Amino acid sequence: MDIKKSKEEFLELLRSTGRDGVEDLIQGLEEMGFFTAPASANHHLNTEGGLLQHSVNTCKAALMIWEGMKGLEPGLEKEVQKDSVIIASLLHDVCKSDIYIRSVKKKKNALGQWEDSEGYKVSYRNFPMGHGEKSVILLLCNGLEMTDDEMLAIRWHMGAWGINMNSFEDQRSFDTAQKLYPLVSIVQAADKLAASIMERSGEEMDEL
Ligand SMILES: [Fe+2]
Ligand SMILES: [Fe+2]
């Protein structure tokens, strides 16, 4: 993975929105460790810069979905702004910036022998606020101006996986957000397509 190139792509996309607060946010992301964090501890992109790569992948997928869906649903052009597609997709997982800590784990090699393997463990102690909701709060606290649909698309990007099924309010809020704002579905689909199609590793495939 070329972290430098991914970071350039990320910054170019983010700055292309011209949004108030972008430069303060970039500074905040540096301090939070966003640009070097992995995207997961054991699954997709579990290496340095993985979160950055996943964010860029999700943004590219979201822009493709947006372009494609405009062909099927012309009204979408007015309903969903390109800047909002970029902001919500690129920043949906900012909550992961501070949860991965480097660690050494025992892992079986191809011969079935245990050996030390450098990896990450997960800790939520820095700011245990949840997932999508944590991203929204961190972005606001770092001075980014956001629209309602961007905040809701980030809050609900996990779709049904992010809903407390014991909470009627959660279920109704998610359903309402999804119906009111197409951006919610665009970011949710892009996140899924990035992780399950663009980021499949050979190692993961071998383990199936
Ligand atoms: Fe996420
Ligand atoms: Fe994601």
For the chain, the structural domain boundaries read 3-203
More confident residue, 28 or 45: 28
Measured in Å, residue 5 CA sits from the centre of ligand 1 at 22
Question: What mean pLDDT is predicted for residues 18-27?
Answer: 97
Task: For residue 110, name the pLDDT band (cuts at 50, 70, 90).
Answer: confident
* Ligand at shortest distance from the CA of 192: 2
pLDDT at residue 207 greater than cutoff 90 = no
CA–CA separation, 62 and 113 (whole Å): 42
* Ligand at shortest distance from the CA of 199: 2
pLDDT > 90: percent of the chain = 81
Measured in Å, residue 99 CA sits from the centre of ligand 1 at 12
* Ligand at shortest distance from the CA of 133: 1
* Stated pTM of the model: 0.93
Task: For residue 107, name the pLDDT band (cuts at 50, 70, 90).
Answer: confident
Task: For residue 43, name the pLDDT band (cuts at 50, 70, 90).
Answer: confident
Can you list the positions of beta strands (E) in the chain? 100-108, 114-122
Measured in Å, residue 71 CA sits from the centre of ligand 2 at 25
pLDDT at residue 129 greater than cutoff 90 = yes
Phi, psi dihedrals of residue 167, rounded to the nearest 5°: -110, 110
Q: Which of 70, 90, 94 is nearest to 182 (CA)?
A: 70
3-class DSSP state of 183:
helix
pLDDT > 70: percent of the chain = 100
Measured in Å, residue 70 CA sits from the centre of ligand 1 at 25
Write the single-letter amino acid at 123: S
Question: What mean pLDDT is predicted for residues 186-201?
Answer: 94
CA–CA separation, 91 and 84 (whole Å): 11
Question: Residue with structure tokens 């689909």?
Answer: 189
DSSP 33: T
Count other Cβ atoms within 10 Å, centred on residue 2: 10
* Ligand at shortest distance from the CA of 51: 2
Question: What mean pLDDT is predicted for residues 33-38?
Answer: 96
Count other Cβ atoms within 10 Å, centred on residue 118: 10
